[in-house]
Amino acid sequence: MSDPEHVTLARSGPSEISRWREATWRRPNTEIPRFSLGYRLEDRGAGETFLPDYVYGRPSLDLSGAMLNKAKLSGADLSHDDLSGADLTQSDLRQADLSGANLQNAHLWRS
């Protein structure tokens, strides 16, 4: 259903639409945040009994089969992590470090 404000704005003409756009325009956030999906060993749950495989000073993550669709992972360090079978559909992976990551059977549609 249409927004009544938008309908009246559309009927008022192109000059009113231009004024409305100038009044409601927002500057996009161009800063790319950096994220790390690493964790500290103190944060391990009681059910985690595996010994993490250390890669470059941090444990490599087992994200196999993870549902990460539409996740904002720009700048994330996913190097040498297991992403096999992970659903990364429509995820933001700009400048993410995927070097050495296992992406076998991962869904990367529109990522």
- The number of folded domains in the chain is 1
Closest C-alpha among 29, 31, 34 to residue 73: 34
67: three-class secondary structure by DSSP: strand
| 23 found inside a domain | no
Find the CATH number of the domain harbouring 93. 2.160.20.80
Three-state secondary structure call for residue 111: coil
In a domain, 19, yes or no: no
The three state secondary structure string of 8-41 is HHHHHCHHHHHHHHHHHCCCCCCCCCCCECCCCH
The whole-angstrom separation of Cα 73 and Cα 36 is: 9
pLDDT tens, residue by residue, 66-97: 898 999 988 888 888 889 999 999 999 999 88
Residue of higher predicted confidence among 88 and 60:
88
Domain residues for the domain of 41 are 33-111
pTM reported for the whole predicted model: 0.49
